[in-house]
A = this chain, B = another copy of it.
């Protein structure tokens, strides 16, 4: 197996093993693809990327691994309105860090922005607290996305 790059392999492996799951080359390949290829990848894109290093990989395994990583909170899954789920590392302390999305409804481009993350995060925290108190919800994650038309598409 090739070494990991941007994510900590020991951390990932430990996290996976800690939940009684096994570390396999297929899962390594998916983790590598996620950290190399960057953000908001579809399962198909992860598959194509991971299969280059691990040709025997099956698409179903990619789906299963992405589901597992999502359950463990290591990956976040989200939709942008085109009937394909997107996946990216959920690590808020990583290189990319926590960000939100700007989606062009014309060309489907997705822009990660962090520009207003600080104010947004602050408001989110207090909102989460309020909602938690009022509705008895234990909030685990949030999605903030803006939809519109990008510059190239005539925005």
Contacts and interface: CB of A to CB of B under 8 A. Distances in A.
Interface string A18-32: 000000000000000
A139 B111 CA distance: 13
Interface stretch (A39-47, A56-64, A130-138): A130-138
B113 A119 contact: no
A130 B120 CA distance: 13
Q: How many copies does the complex hold?
A: 2
A12 interface: no
- For the residues of A in contact with B, the DSSP-based class is mixed
Nearest to A113: B131
Given A123-B119, A123-B120, A123-B123, A138 B128 contact: no
Contact of A137 (B123, B131, B141, B146): B146
B137 A148 contact: yes
